Amino acid sequence: MRRLRMGMIGGGPGSFIGGVHRLAAEMDRRIELVAGAFSSDPARSRAAGESYRIDPARAYDSYQEMFAAERLRDDPIDFVAVVTPNHLHLPATAAALAASFPVMSDKPMTATLDEARELAALVQATGVTYRLTYTYTGYPLVREMRQLIASGALGAIRKVVVEYAQGWLAEPLERAGNKQAEWRADPAQSGLGGCIGDIGVHAFNLAEFVTGQRVTRICADLNSMVTGRRLDDDCNVLLRFANGAPGVLIASQISVGERNGLRLRVYGETGAVHWQQENPNTLTIDTIDGRTEVRHAASGLLGADALAVTRVPTGHPEGYLEAFANLYADFAALLAGETTAPLLPDAAEGLRAMGFISTAVTSNAAGGGWTDLAL
Amino acid sequence: MRRLRMGMIGGGPGSFIGGVHRLAAEMDRRIELVAGAFSSDPARSRAAGESYRIDPARAYDSYQEMFAAERLRDDPIDFVAVVTPNHLHLPATAAALAASFPVMSDKPMTATLDEARELAALVQATGVTYRLTYTYTGYPLVREMRQLIASGALGAIRKVVVEYAQGWLAEPLERAGNKQAEWRADPAQSGLGGCIGDIGVHAFNLAEFVTGQRVTRICADLNSMVTGRRLDDDCNVLLRFANGAPGVLIASQISVGERNGLRLRVYGETGAVHWQQENPNTLTIDTIDGRTEVRHAASGLLGADALAVTRVPTGHPEGYLEAFANLYADFAALLAGETTAPLLPDAAEGLRAMGFISTAVTSNAAGGGWTDLAL
Amino acid sequence: MRRLRMGMIGGGPGSFIGGVHRLAAEMDRRIELVAGAFSSDPARSRAAGESYRIDPARAYDSYQEMFAAERLRDDPIDFVAVVTPNHLHLPATAAALAASFPVMSDKPMTATLDEARELAALVQATGVTYRLTYTYTGYPLVREMRQLIASGALGAIRKVVVEYAQGWLAEPLERAGNKQAEWRADPAQSGLGGCIGDIGVHAFNLAEFVTGQRVTRICADLNSMVTGRRLDDDCNVLLRFANGAPGVLIASQISVGERNGLRLRVYGETGAVHWQQENPNTLTIDTIDGRTEVRHAASGLLGADALAVTRVPTGHPEGYLEAFANLYADFAALLAGETTAPLLPDAAEGLRAMGFISTAVTSNAAGGGWTDLAL
Amino acid sequence: MRRLRMGMIGGGPGSFIGGVHRLAAEMDRRIELVAGAFSSDPARSRAAGESYRIDPARAYDSYQEMFAAERLRDDPIDFVAVVTPNHLHLPATAAALAASFPVMSDKPMTATLDEARELAALVQATGVTYRLTYTYTGYPLVREMRQLIASGALGAIRKVVVEYAQGWLAEPLERAGNKQAEWRADPAQSGLGGCIGDIGVHAFNLAEFVTGQRVTRICADLNSMVTGRRLDDDCNVLLRFANGAPGVLIASQISVGERNGLRLRVYGETGAVHWQQENPNTLTIDTIDGRTEVRHAASGLLGADALAVTRVPTGHPEGYLEAFANLYADFAALLAGETTAPLLPDAAEGLRAMGFISTAVTSNAAGGGWTDLAL
């Protein structure tokens, strides 16, 4: 069976996430990067193509050109990965869908909720496959938590605490030439949300993914703690889930000493689970009889969902790149018609997350207080 | 130098905290339990006296009787420890102050904010020494955090996350004959707050103690997750500190698998500290240069405040009882005139904590939203 | 019931362990320090008496004087605690036994194996109660491990790894005026073993205590890594247990960064346990089905032996002082005739440990190789 | 720049390590698997080729056939990966060297020390590039430890403790149809060492790699704890390094509950480092001033060697596959003439490791005692 051919939009020199998509997509040898419109600057696009070691003829000046040229080949790309800054997600994805290329998009869906609604409508209208890389849903033990909860092992969910703590924006890096900080701190490129849209949305998505519960109301406190910053860099949000359970979502990019501190705790009537992204190969499971279990990645005790995305024996740590690759493994299987990839976030999930960002910004701007989640 | 003589009010059979006060008070041989009105039931008071191995003649039927009898002795008690349920804190303490006996009271100060105001006024009017056992302020590494922050080592405080998670009330133990659960779940004995008054108040006190910052506004979400429970058992509160820094306070007694999970993280401009009560002998210090230090209890790197309350060499773990004993060590030194015991919580701290409980309950009852802290 | 009266031999100014014995003995209010011959220097003995706040008349110039005087009192001491440097253990204990005072001795039993044999014979001849404070056997979770293994929960023991790592002697403190280092580094006060006698012996005792298996042969490598040091400061010993299981014992006082790193792992046919003294409130239990359990101190899941020496609810950490106090609790119950205190190390255990030290030194001096344990 | 073309010898259906070599080699897009003699059974070799999605024409029946066919192509393989059971390492590698194909070999070098000597001579005689995948030397923080020690940050090395604990062979899986267990437990396929050759050798290599010190003498205790097993499954070895420092090496495959527990601690005069493979993204560094630092993977504080093999920002965990890929990255750069790949284990390292296995087996068979390392 041949490998699927991937084209990339974005991911040029200086991009971190482009290389991650490439590596993740190719890890299991079901997908191969063969083309790209890596930058709106043709020279930079070509340079990126070289660094990816692809055929120079397939490093295009624009995604429009890529779509036009690839359609004429015997071995055209099978899909595109969209890894641009947020404000380009909509136009690039819309063009791909119009050209009938399936899309694997980086998160968030778009820069604004209105754009997201427009895109969701396009996805539905075209019927072209569209999925998003909410990376952390790819970790085996995240899927284990989800399966455990779905199986009723914790009883009804009573409380959720989800945190995503980083410290790298504790200083105004966006004014010190840091490219990653620049676009994130610029409302024109990022949208209305700063930290809430960059990482808060991962926490939101993770909480819903794992619990299978929808958030219905939130009470948000967004702050910009670094002088002169135009977007929020610290977020604290009270949550209410559909079943009435309370929750807390904490996201921050000014928490000095935190690296990529995504942590989730879910407490149910009869059990609880704890997981941390920086130490992703163990999962703590507490039960109401006082027992604490540490469940190990790749252990034979894991459910089918976790084992399906496990590559190495227990004790051989997998990490971020493997989690990311699991999303592409799902996507490849989906395109191959082997599965419906029920765990892979789709437009509906993308839209919910945009609603969360929008509601958090609105609720905060109005002085706080409980607000229904806009969708 | 002779040992100080302690009388106890409360702490009868079935009490956990009475024995803790006894042990903590006596640990350093500066204080000795010699008398008590351990229960309003004379037989139970005598039984407690026996279990404490005190002179049977000094196990009294009531605190009134104890005060009257002790005044006539050559070797009267030097102070009393008040360890009753919350609703008796005011009358017992008021009687002690009236009889000029200094008081070491368990927290919270009283059952209601009004009572606390009354008691604070009495303390001021009588001039008799009054202090509270906010236990966790006694841990050496808590005092280290406080001293570090006061020294400016973290820069201005930017964010505080404090949690106190327990799971023991995940089931309705108050209807299953559990004495500890019964009084806590009964508004008549506990006051208006359940979890918020029992443990949320510790988290609040700890956050203010360590940061040296006052909380000025809160936005509280209190829930009662166990069917039929009359008081809150899960609390999530957004905080705003006087300097504008945001914070989150999470307290829960229905978090299955949590034991006594008091955890504090304080993020400043240039550094951060993390500490957990269940593993109290290490403190994590992050600095903005990317360095993470684990500082060990009893290490020579500690500041004076921590070392002053350290009994054993590094690597020999101290715990809850030693932390509690540190409060009594401060108290003994205070009564002996050796110190003003600036770290030992007094009526002003007690009153603030009652204001926090009251405001949280009020704010939540009003449907949430930001509310100024009532005092 | 009155408290038992304790006299102390040793424990004068500068002693760490004297204060620990005092505090531990008194923690549960069954014992009270009332007398002592704290130093061979009368002025220092009196100074110590003052610091312990005992009756000045009972701070004696020598243990001979203490025994003579106490016998004449109405309220004589009930037993003595021997906390001198090792080379005085034999004469002080012998005198106490001769005067019919029960003895609680610090470890090791004596300075040499010959002395230990002499003392063991005296204990047997006099019939006076004699026990040793192998501190770490007092930890609740150590007793839990022992009970688990005795119950067969791990199957037959197949491997033991025990380590006791410290770093405080990485520099020649014995030549820098450090009193604790001086006597430990002096063969005349410590005996033939340095690190092996000071802490290796704890590791040995712990391994035998927990597994219920006797060590029968050892192969020892003792080194003195600090130039000029006269006794070993680093020890690595291969073990063979009576049932044929192999083991490794590592003890070091030059392991920079280690504090009081006593750690034990026992692997059986069907399960394993891991425990660390510096984090004593959790125990890890693995089973052959791949399950890892973290068992918490004071948890309801614990066996009777652990719960019997637990003072506070789960989540309230206990530490070194509480472990030490558990030995005195056993001793008090033993003297009161309430129990035979089967878990409290006696002369037989003391003798075995001396045999271990002696054999390790001999085996190493002979160039290594397997040697039967001398007893 | 084109990708290097890799051929594989071994790695057929049921092989774990074949897939790991494929994935690791391709991770950075510098190498591509294009051919293989995956099994001595042609049908199995073809099946493996299909699972790797390579051109069916290049799934060969034998390595002899592969060498012959590839030489005739325009796009021949650039090198081979040897991933067979140990007893085939010598013939397969010898054939590759004879055909002038560079070799990346799985460890250990061969099945016996004599074979290793023969192979080392062949490597020298042919001058063809030969390297081994001692996987754990590829972890960024392992290279950080090595660089720290080489820089003198710990002072002279005084003690090394290295452990490699597994539990998967606690039961006789080799008699239950487990293919991985079968060849490991069979002297004909594995050589004289069981656990010592399978994983002990990793521990040995890691200790020498990190410290830069050679082991000169050992005292080994090898045991076979599972009834009927023909090779050792538990190893405890005392070490002596060239500078006189003592060490301990523990390896076990019957340690129930251990997964892939490779752990290293190195203590120097002024500092120490600790690292664990199962939690590979942090490194603990202790210094003699009492400070404990946790250094994070991908942190800006890392030295050049670690950063050179880091793919993602700090807080994004990398694991086993990335470590393995780092060896191939070194190998690709070596073949491209960009580097001499000084950190990549070569024939000399391979030979030393075989000497270790041989000496351990010999020393143990002779009843233990210190033995010079045979080479």
Interface test with C, best of B312, B314, B318, B326 (most C CBs within 10 A): B312
Question: What is the pTM (predicted TM-score) of this model?
Answer: 0.97
| SS3 state at D107 | coil
Q: Please report, for residues A25, A71, B99, D201, the alpha-carbon distance to residue B78 in angstroms, rounded to integers and kept in the order given.
A: 74, 93, 11, 69
| SS3 state at D322 | helix
D313 shares contact with chain B (CB less than 8 Å): no
pLDDT in tens, C256-272: 999 999 999 999 999 99
D335 within 8 A of D129, measured Cβ to Cβ: yes
The secondary structure of A162-199 as a DSSP string is EEEE--TTSS-GGGTT-HHHHHHT-HHHH-S-SHIIII
Tokens read off for B345: 């919580």
B229 within 8 A of B185, measured Cβ to Cβ: yes
Which residues of chain D, if any, have pLDDT below 50? Answer: none
Q: pLDDT category, B68, cuts 50, 70, 90?
A: very high
B67 shares contact with chain C (CB less than 8 Å): no
Tokens read off for D167: 């539990």
**pLDDT of C186:** 87
CA-based angle A149:A151:A156, to the nearest 5? 50
B251 within 8 A of B265, measured Cβ to Cβ: no
- Average pLDDT value for residue range C27-43: 96
Strands D246-252 and C31-37: unpaired
What is the rounded distance in angstroms from the CA atom of residue B8 to the CA atom of residue B28?
18
B182 within 8 A of B169, measured Cβ to Cβ: no
Q: Which of D163, D223, D255 sits opposite C272 (nearest CB)?
A: D255
A314: nearest CA in chain D? D259
> Which of C255, C259, C251 lies closest to C320, judged by CA?
C259
Q: CA Rg, chain D, in Å?
A: 20
pLDDT in tens, C79-113: 999 999 999 999 999 999 999 999 999 999 999 99
With CB atoms and an 8 Å threshold, state whether D286 touches C254. no
Tokens read off for A113: 């909720």
Strands A234-241 and B234-241: unpaired
A48 within 8 A of A13, measured Cβ to Cβ: yes
CA-based angle B283:B287:B293, to the nearest 5? 35
Q: pLDDT category, C128, cuts 50, 70, 90?
A: very high
With CB atoms and an 8 Å threshold, state whether C301 touches A290. yes
pLDDT at C1 > cutoff 80: no
Phi, psi of B365 (to 5 degrees): -65, -30
Q: Which of C246, C267, C270 sits opposite D236 (nearest CB)?
A: C246
Tokens read off for B208: 């203010």
Local structure of residue B197 (DSSP, 8 states): I
ipTM of the prediction: 0.96
With CB atoms and an 8 Å threshold, state whether B256 touches A269. yes
Lowest mean pLDDT among B13-22, C68-77, C97-106, D233-242: B13-22
The secondary structure of C62-94 as a DSSP string is SHHHHHHHHHTSSS--SEEEE-S-GGGHHHHHH
A240: nearest CA in chain B? B221
pLDDT 10s digit of each residue in chain A, 375 long?
Answer: 689 999 999 999 988 899 999 999 999 999 999 999 999 999 999 999 999 999 999 999 999 999 999 999 999 999 999 999 999 999 999 999 999 999 999 999 999 999 999 999 999 999 999 999 999 999 999 999 999 999 999 999 999 999 999 999 999 999 998 888 888 888 888 788 999 999 999 999 999 999 999 999 999 999 999 999 999 999 999 999 999 999 999 999 999 999 999 999 999 999 999 999 999 999 999 999 999 999 999 999 999 999 999 999 999 999 999 999 999 999 999 999 999 999 999 999 999 999 999 999 999 999 989 999 988
What is the rounded distance in angstroms from the CA atom of residue D371 to the CA atom of residue D219?
6
> Which of C254, C217, C161, C243 lies closest to C368, judged by CA?
C217
D262 within 8 A of D276, measured Cβ to Cβ: yes
CA-based angle B238:B243:B249, to the nearest 5? 20
Local structure of residue D153 (DSSP, 8 states): T
Chain A residues inside the 8 Å CB shell of D311: 19, 23, 321
**pLDDT of C375:** 81
What is the rounded distance in angstroms from the CA atom of residue A146 to the CA atom of residue A209?
7
Partner D, chain A 140-199, Cβ-Cβ below 8 Å: 166
What is the rounded distance in angstroms from the CA atom of residue C361 to the CA atom of residue A291?
44
H-helix or E-strand containing D263? strand D261-268
**Identity at C181, one-letter amino acid code:** A
Q: CA Rg, chain C, in Å?
A: 20
| SS3 state at B172 | coil
**pLDDT of D1:** 67
A14 shares contact with chain D (CB less than 8 Å): no
Alpha helices of A127-165 — where are they, by DSSP H? 140-150
**pLDDT of A368:** 86
With CB atoms and an 8 Å threshold, state whether B261 touches C315. yes
Local structure of residue A59 (DSSP, 8 states): B
Measured on CA atoms in the order D132, D133, D135, D141, is the torsion positive or negative?
Answer: positive
How many helices and strands in chain C, by DSSP H and E?
A: 13, 14
**What is the number of other CB atoms lying within 10 angstroms of the CB of residue C180?**
17
Chain D residues inside the 8 Å CB shell of A52: 29
The nearest CA of chain A is from the CA of B290 a distance in Å of 6
DSSP bridge pairs for D80? D7, D103
pLDDT in tens, D211-220: 999 999 999 9
User: Is the bond into C172 cis (omega within 30 degrees of 0)?
Assistant: no
With CB atoms and an 8 Å threshold, state whether A256 touches B269. yes
pLDDT in tens, C142-197: 999 999 999 999 999 999 999 999 999 999 999 998 888 888 888 888 788 999 99
| SS3 state at D130 | strand
Residue with tokens 């193509």: A49
> Exposed (0-12), middle (13-18) or buried (19+): which is A75, by Cβ within 10 Å?
exposed
| SS3 state at B39 | coil
Q: CA Rg, chain A, in Å?
A: 20
Strands D261-268 and B246-252: unpaired
What is the rounded distance in angstroms from the CA atom of residue B75 to the CA atom of residue A34?
92
Q: pLDDT category, B1, cuts 50, 70, 90?
A: low
D342 shares contact with chain B (CB less than 8 Å): no
**What is the number of other CB atoms lying within 10 angstroms of the CB of residue C214?**
13
Chain A residues inside the 8 Å CB shell of C301: 289-291
Q: pLDDT category, B286, cuts 50, 70, 90?
A: very high
pLDDT in tens, B138-157: 999 999 999 999 999 999 99
H-helix or E-strand containing C119? helix C113-126
Percentage of residues of chain C with pLDDT beyond 90: 92
Farthest-apart Cα atoms in chain A, separation: 64
